[in-house]
C-alpha cells in the first residue's frame, strides 16, 4: 500500500514533473502523452494507492491493475501494452512521481532533524499576533 502522507509536497512533485515535460519535450504529441500520463498517475495514486507498493531496494513501483488484473513493476521500463508500443504510460509516470516524492521527503526530513528551528511545532497551540497565525 502506497501512502502519500505529505500531500503538499506531492503536489509540488507533480507540478515540477509537468513543468519539466513542458520545458524539455519538443514533440507536441509526446508532450501531450506524458502530460496525460502524469495527470492520470496523480489521480491513480490518489484513488488507488492501496493497490500500489513502493519498493525501496530497486526503486520501482508495483501497480496492480484492476482493469487488466496484471501487476506492473515500473521504474524506467514497464510491462504494459502502451510501453510495448513505445508510448508514455501512467505506470512509469507514477513510478517517477513516487521516486521523486520519496527522495524529496527523505531529504526534507534530514534537514528538519539537523536544523532545530525548522522542526514542526505541532504540539504548540495556534497563536495569532496581529491577525497573523504563527506556528
Q: Under a CB-based contact definition with an 8 Å cutoff, are residues 38 and 57 in contact?
A: no
List the one residue out of 38, 32, 4 whose CA is nearest residue 18: 38
Residue with smaller CB distance to Zn ion, 91 or 96: 91
Q: Is 72 helix (H, G, I), strand (E, B) or coil?
A: strand
d(CA 63, CA 93): 12
* 95 near Zn ion, judged by CB under 5 A: no
Residue choice 78, 93, 94, 95 for contact with Zn ion (CB under 5 A): 78
What angle (nearest 5°) sits at the alpha carbon of residue 90, between those of residues 78 and 45? Answer: 115
* 91 near Zn ion, judged by CB under 5 A: yes
Stretch that binds Zn ion, among 10-18, 49-57, 75-83, 120-128 (CB under 5 A): 75-83
Stretch that binds Zn ion, among 3-11, 30-38, 84-92, 112-120 (CB under 5 A): 84-92
The footprint of Zn ion (CB under 5 A) covers: 78, 80, 83, 89, 91
Amino acid at each position: 500500500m502506497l501512502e502519500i502522507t505529505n500531500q503538499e509536497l506531492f503536489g509540488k512533485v507533480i507540478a515540477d514533473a509537468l513543468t519539466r515535460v513542458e520545458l524539455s519535450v519538443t514533440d507536441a504529441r509526446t508532450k501531450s502523452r506524458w502530460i496525460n500520463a502524469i495527470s492520470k498517475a496523480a489521480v491513480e495514486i490518489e484513488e488507488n494507492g492501496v493497490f500500489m507498493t513502493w519498493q525501496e531496494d530497486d526503486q520501482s513501483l508495483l501497480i496492480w491493475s484492476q482493469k487488466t488484473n496484471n501487476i506492473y513493476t515500473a521504474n524506467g521500463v514497464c510491462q504494459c501494452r502502451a510501453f510495448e508500443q513505445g508510448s508514455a504510460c501512467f505506470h512509469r509516470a507514477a513510478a517517477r512521481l513516487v521516486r521523486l516524492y520519496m527522495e524529496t521527503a527523505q531529504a526534507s526530513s534530514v534537514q528538519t532533524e539537523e536544523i532545530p528551528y525548522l522542526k514542526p511545532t505541532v504540539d504548540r497551540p495556534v497563536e495569532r499576533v496581529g491577525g497573523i497565525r504563527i506556528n
